[in-house]
Amino acid sequence: MSLIIENVHLAPVAGPEIAGGWLRIEGDRIAGLGPGPAPDAPGAERLDGTGCLATPGLVNTHHHLYQWASQGLAQDATLFEWLVALYRVWAAMDAEIVRGASAAGLGWLALSGCTTSSDHHYLFPKGRGDLFAAGIEAAREVGLRFHPARGSMDRGESRGGLPPDEVVEDLDEILDATAEAVDAYHDPSPSSMLRVAVAPCSPFSASGELMTQSAALARDKGVRLHTHLAETVDEDEHCLEQFGLRPVDYMDKLGWLGPDVWLAHAVHLSDADIAKLAVTGTGAAHCPSSNGRLGAGVARVSEMLRRGVNVGLGVDGSASSELTPLAGEMRQALLFQRARYGPRALTARQALELATLGGARNLGREGELGTLEPGKLADVALWRVDGPYTAAVADPVCALVFGPALPLVRLLVGGRTVVADGELRTASQDALGRAGAEAGRRLLERAEQRGVTVKVGMS
Ligand SMILES: [Zn+2]
């Protein structure tokens, strides 16, 4: 496979932008890029990128794909209220629901320029099929690079945790299942389409022992660690009350800060917390839409960047952000920072870097993904910027970040076309949408059969 995109505005994230340049792809790699007319390449497909912007494919570093099946519920709830309302709904899920929800969620991500997505799955009701494999099957169907995290919870209500006991697992079961997931699926090769992470859910649903043993397991197997942290004031209070420490200090004590860890949210950080993340090389997945939806707060992203903390973006589960496309999170991130810290808090190009290189770093793949450079994997998004709503915007990167959702002319994952002319080419978009809707219907029906009342509002 050999492809040249010509006459295109290139925003490589690493190195200067090129207005009117070319990008050459050979096999699953970027072979070259430059200004002016494209060099001769006999036999290569040539794609005219006039009116288009090429960026690295976007990287989503926090998600719960199964939540596609539980959107629009507990709309006015805090995080803890929302979780308490939804844990019992999620307890009704099975592999078929996860498969349909994941396929719909991944298809939607592809259409918003995402080429690599993580997924944090942390509820494994017994006897409902292989839920972890269901997400992987969906990613294979849609064709995205996938980083599923084997999540877990062992600290139910009876042990002072937030989730009901019916949705947590035993420590030993978790560790066995996690090791099995890594052994079965993790591919460490540079062009890997599938890497597994280890991800106890949060300080208020995972015990300290689960955290420390998970870290030991991940480090033994050479895989990354992920969890939710410092998302809300309620979590701060819970950690102080239960552990006598705030969340970042608690994680530090458990050996959970380091260059192999990335934390979802990281909203409520002190100056000292930010310094700890910077010095240990711990990354953060910023999820502005979800933080806004749940009223969790605004993460100190510009401050983190200034002080050397790596930050990537995440859409978080669809149940706390209702269908947000990944490209939209760049805009949300930029607007949140500017609304709070002023117009120079985050630039359009910094927002693009969060969504690409920042995400690649969170997943430990900055050597292979996140920029357009020769030798890197050919994960590329080609956006149309000369459409009716953006043609008058002077700067294509501004159009992408500040403007409306841009149509994708092409989305390549390892050189393979996943989206062309705004349509998914690996799977039927309509079929994925129907599978997602059916997963939602089936989950709520099964939850109601189990006597769970599903709340739409909160009061
Ligand atoms: Zn989350």
Going along the chain from its start, the domains and CATH numbers come out as 2-56+371-421 (2.30.40.10), 58-363 (3.20.20.140)
**In angstroms, rounded to a whole number, what is the distance separating the alpha carbons of residues 308 and 291?**
22
What separation in Å is there between the alpha carbon of 258 and the centre of ligand 1?
20
Decide if pLDDT at 12 tops 90: yes
| pLDDT at residue number 323 | 77
Decide if pLDDT at 416 tops 70: yes
What separation in Å is there between the alpha carbon of 121 and the centre of ligand 1?
9
What separation in Å is there between the alpha carbon of 273 and the centre of ligand 1?
20
| Residues near ion ligand 1 (Cβ under 5 Å) | 316
What separation in Å is there between the alpha carbon of 251 and the centre of ligand 1?
17
What separation in Å is there between the alpha carbon of 48 and the centre of ligand 1?
39
In 10 A of CB 459, how many CB atoms? 5
What separation in Å is there between the alpha carbon of 79 and the centre of ligand 1?
10
What separation in Å is there between the alpha carbon of 62 and the centre of ligand 1?
6
What separation in Å is there between the alpha carbon of 63 and the centre of ligand 1?
6
What separation in Å is there between the alpha carbon of 417 and the centre of ligand 1?
29
Residue 274, classified by CB atoms within 10 Å of its CB into exposed (0-12), middle (13-18) or buried (19+), is buried
What separation in Å is there between the alpha carbon of 318 and the centre of ligand 1?
9
Contact status, residue 120 vs residue 199, Cβ threshold 8 Å: yes
What separation in Å is there between the alpha carbon of 182 and the centre of ligand 1?
21
Interval 345-370 mean pLDDT: 98
Q: Which tokens belong to 76?
A: 């006015």
Decide if pLDDT at 454 tops 80: no
pLDDT digits (tens, 9 = 90+) for 252-269: 999 999 999 999 999 999
Which tops the pLDDT comparison, 368 or 458?
368
Decide if pLDDT at 181 tops 90: yes
What separation in Å is there between the alpha carbon of 41 and the centre of ligand 1?
45
Three-state secondary structure call for residue 210: helix
What separation in Å is there between the alpha carbon of 120 and the centre of ligand 1?
7
What separation in Å is there between the alpha carbon of 319 and the centre of ligand 1?
10
What separation in Å is there between the alpha carbon of 393 and the centre of ligand 1?
34
Min mean pLDDT across 241-245, 317-321, 423-427 is at: 317-321
What separation in Å is there between the alpha carbon of 80 and the centre of ligand 1?
12
Which tops the pLDDT comparison, 323 or 189?
189
Decide if pLDDT at 147 tops 70: yes
| pLDDT at residue number 456 | 78
pLDDT digits (tens, 9 = 90+) for 213-235: 999 999 999 999 999 999 999 99
**In angstroms, rounded to a whole number, what is the distance separating the alpha carbons of residues 63 and 56?**
20
pLDDT, the chain, mean = 97
What separation in Å is there between the alpha carbon of 229 and the centre of ligand 1?
9
| pLDDT at residue number 458 | 60
Provide long-range contacts, Cβ within 8 A and 24+ apart, for 189-194: 190/367, 190/368, 190/377, 191/28, 191/368, 191/377, 191/414, 192/145, 193/139, 193/140, 193/145, 193/146, 193/413, 193/414, 194/136, 194/139, 194/145, 194/146, 194/147, 194/148
What separation in Å is there between the alpha carbon of 382 and the centre of ligand 1?
28
Contact status, residue 177 vs residue 150, Cβ threshold 8 Å: yes
408-413 and 18-26: which strand pairing? unpaired
What separation in Å is there between the alpha carbon of 7 and the centre of ligand 1?
40
Decide if pLDDT at 459 tops 60: no
Three-state secondary structure call for residue 35: strand
Contact status, residue 301 vs residue 307, Cβ threshold 8 Å: no
What separation in Å is there between the alpha carbon of 264 and the centre of ligand 1?
7
What separation in Å is there between the alpha carbon of 93 and the centre of ligand 1?
17
Within 8 A by CB and 6+ apart from 240, the residues are 246
> Closest by alpha carbon to 200, among 265, 154, 258, 247?
154
**In angstroms, rounded to a whole number, what is the distance separating the alpha carbons of residues 265 and 263?**
6
Decide if pLDDT at 305 tops 90: yes
